[in-house]
Amino acid sequence: MNIRQRYFGDKDFYRRIVTVMLPIMAQNAITNFVGLLDNIMVGRVGTLEMSGVSVINTLMLVYNCCVFGAVAGVGIYTAEYYGAGNEEGVRNSFRFKTVFAVALAVLAVSIFLIGGDGLISLYLEGKGDPADAAQILDYGKQYLRIIMIGLIPHAFTQSYADTLRNCRKVMPPMAAGLTAMAVKVVLNYLLIFGYLGFPRLGIVGAGISVVISRFVELGVIVSWTKRHLPDVPFMKGVFRTLKVPGRLCLEMIRSAFPLMVNETVWSAGLAFLTQCYTTRALNVVAAVSISNTFYNLFSVTFKSAGTAIGILIGQMLGVRAFAKAKEEVPKMIVFSTMIGLAVAVVYVGIAFTAPGLYNVTPEVRRIARDLLLATIVFIPVNGALSATYHTLKAGGNTFLVMLVDCGAIWLFQALPTFLLSRFTGIGIIPLYFFAQCGLILKLAVQLYFVRRGGWARSLVEEA
C-alpha cells in the first residue's frame, strides 16, 4: 500500500464522512456564529460588561463539557446498539443518558448558587482598577442568575440530540438548533439594545435570550421526535419507565463516567489556563474572550469532522468490522488535519479584522489580535487531535481517553502555565503561545495509542 492509498481515501470514503459531518458542522457553526454575534453585541455594550459575561461563559464551558462527556459516553452504546439493530438497547441508553444529564444540571445549579461569587472572583486578580473588578463581578452575577434557568432544558436537548445523531438522524437536531438560534439572535437584538419598543436590558437581555432559546430548542426536537416515531421506533414508549437493566446501567456508568470526568477535568483545565492568562491584567479577560469566540466558530470544521469520524468508527466496530476501521483511521486523521490547515489560512485575515468589531479599548484590541495570530500555528494540530480523540473514544476505552486528555492539558499546559504566570513576568502573548505548545506533545501521545490499535473493539453483542 503506497502513501496515497494509506492516507487518502476515494470518493466514497469522503462522501461518507461529509454526509455525516456537514449537518453536524452546520448546526455547530450556526450555534457558534450566534455565540459570536452574542459576543459582539455584548462587546458593543462595553468592556466591563463583556468581561463579566466572558467569565460566566468560561465557567459554563466546564458544565457544558461535563454534560457532553456524560451523554457522549453513553452515546458510544447508542451508536453500537443502533449499528447492531438492537432497538431496546438504544432505548435504554437514551433513558440513562437523560437521567444522567438532568442530574448534572441540578448539581451545576446548586454549585453556582452556593459558590458563584467566589468562582467569578478568581478571574479578577489581574492588574487594573479595583472599581472595574467590582463592576465586572456584579455584571457576572447578573448574567449567571438568569442563564442558570436554561440548564435543565439544555440537558434534555443534549440527550435527544446525541441519540438522534448516533442513530444517523442528524437533521432534526440541526433544525432544532437553527430555530433556537434564530430566536436567540432576534431576542438579542431586541433586548440588549432595546429596539422596536423593547426595554434596553444589556447583558440581562442577553441572558433572557439564552434561556428562551434553550426552551425553544427542546420543544422543536421533542416535537419532531413525536411526529416521526416510525422513523425512530426506538423512541416509542421510551418514557413509560425510567428503568434500565442493572447490568447495562453499570456498564454504561463505567463507560460514561471516565469520559464525563475527562471532559470536565479537560474543560476545567481550559478554565484554569484562562485564569492564568487573566493574572496579567483585567483587560486580558475581554481579549481572551474575543480570541476564543472566533476560534470556536472556525474550529467547528475539524471538530465536526472528528464527531463524524467517531460515529462512523463506532458503527464499524458495532458490526465488528475491525480491519476496515483500522484501515480508514489514518485517512480520517489526515482529512481532519487538512481541514485545520485550510482554517489556518483563513485565520490570518480574521486576526487583523475581528477585534475591530468590538467597542473595547485599543489595548484590548491589540491583545486580541496577537492572541488570534498566536493560535494559527496550532490549528492543524487541533484538527489531528480531534480525529485521534474520537478514534480512541469510539472503542469505548474511556479510561484511556481520560488519562490522555486530562493528563495532557494539566501536565503539558496548565502546570507550566501556572508556574510561568505566578513566578515570572512573562507577557500574555508568549505565555499563551507557550501554553499551546503542549498540544504538540498531546498529539504525539494520542497518535501512539491510535497506532497501537487497542481501540478497535466492540462493546455490545450482535442482535
Please determine, for residue 71, whether its predicted confidence score (pLDDT) is greater than 70: yes
Please determine, for residue 223, whether its predicted confidence score (pLDDT) is greater than 70: yes
- Are 203 and 142 in contact by the 8 Å Cβ rule? The answer is yes
Which residues are CB-contacts of 133 (< 8 A; sequence separation ≥ 6)?
124, 282
Would you state the pLDDT for residue 42?
83
For 167-176, write each residue's pLDDT tens digit. 878 788 888 9
- Cα dist from 32 to 160, 237, 300, whole Å: 20, 34, 8
Would you state the pLDDT for residue 177?
84
- Of 99 and 246, the one with more pLDDT: 99
Which residues are CB-contacts of 82 (< 8 A; sequence separation ≥ 6)?
90, 166, 167, 168, 234, 315, 318
3-state secondary structure string, the chain? CCHHHHHCCCHHHHHHHHHHHHHHHHHHHHHHHHHHHHHHHHHHHCHHHHHHHHHHHHHHHHHHHHHHHHHHHHHHHHHHHHHCCCHHHHHHHHHHHHHHHHHHHHHHHHHHHHHHHHHHHCCCCCCCCHHHHHHHHHHHHHHHHHHHHHHHHHHHHHHHHHHHHHCCCCHHHHHHHHHHHHHHHHHHHHHHHCCCCCCCCCHHHHHHHHHHHHHHHHHHHHHHHHHCCCCCHHHCCCCCCCCCCHHHHHHHHHHHHHHHHHHHHHHHHHHHHHHHHHCCCCHHHHHHHHHHHHHHHHCHHHHHHHHHHHHHHHHHHHCCCHHHHHHHHHHHHHHHHHHHHHHHHHHHHHHHHHHHHCCCCHHHHHHHHHHHHHHHCCHHHHHHHHHHHHHHHHCCCHHHHHHHHHHHHHHHHHHHHHHHHHHCCCCHHHHHHHHHHHHHHHHHHHHHHHHHCCCCCCCCCCC
Spatial distance between the Cα atoms of 252 and 162, rounded to a whole number of angstroms: 15
pLDDT band at 323 (very low <50, low <70, confident <90, very high): confident
Would you state the pLDDT for residue 460?
60
Please determine, for residue 245, whether its predicted confidence score (pLDDT) is greater than 50: yes
- Of 335 and 46, the one with more pLDDT: 335
Spatial distance between the Cα atoms of 253 and 111, rounded to a whole number of angstroms: 23
Once rounded to an integer, what is the mean pLDDT over residues 446-456? 86
Please determine, for residue 418, whether its predicted confidence score (pLDDT) is greater than 80: yes
Would you state the pLDDT for residue 459?
64
For 203-217, write each residue's pLDDT tens digit. 899 999 999 999 999
Would you state the pLDDT for residue 47?
81
Residues composing the chain: 463
Spatial distance between the Cα atoms of 301 and 313, rounded to a whole number of angstroms: 18
For 111-166, write each residue's pLDDT tens digit. 999 998 889 988 887 777 788 788 889 999 999 999 999 999 999 999 888 888 88
Once rounded to an integer, what is the mean pLDDT over residues 223-230? 87
Would you state the pLDDT for residue 1?
60
Would you state the pLDDT for residue 100?
87
Within its chain, how far is the Cα of 229 from the centroid?
A: 29
- HSE-up of 338 (CA within 13 Å, CB side)? 9
- Are 300 and 29 in contact by the 8 Å Cβ rule? The answer is yes
- By CB atoms closer than 10 A (0-12, 13-18, 19+), residue 349 is exposed
Within its chain, how far is the Cα of 355 from the centroid?
A: 23
Spatial distance between the Cα atoms of 64 and 57, rounded to a whole number of angstroms: 10
pLDDT band at 247 (very low <50, low <70, confident <90, very high): confident
Which of 398, 414, 412, 416 is closest to 442 using CA atoms?
412
pLDDT band at 463 (very low <50, low <70, confident <90, very high): very low
Please determine, for residue 410, whether its predicted confidence score (pLDDT) is greater than 60: yes
Once rounded to an integer, what is the mean pLDDT over residues 19-47? 81
Once rounded to an integer, what is the mean pLDDT over residues 404-421? 91
Q: Cell 452556593 maps to which residue?
A: 114
Which of 65, 84, 237, 93 is closest to 160 using CA atoms?
93
The C-alpha torsion from 319 through 322 and 327 to 333, rounded to 10°, is: 80
pLDDT, the chain, mean: 86
- Of 237 and 16, the one with more pLDDT: 16
Q: Cell 489581574 maps to which residue?
A: 126
Please determine, for residue 68, whether its predicted confidence score (pLDDT) is greater than 90: no
For 359-382, write each residue's pLDDT tens digit. 888 898 999 999 999 999 999 999
Would you state the pLDDT for residue 23?
81
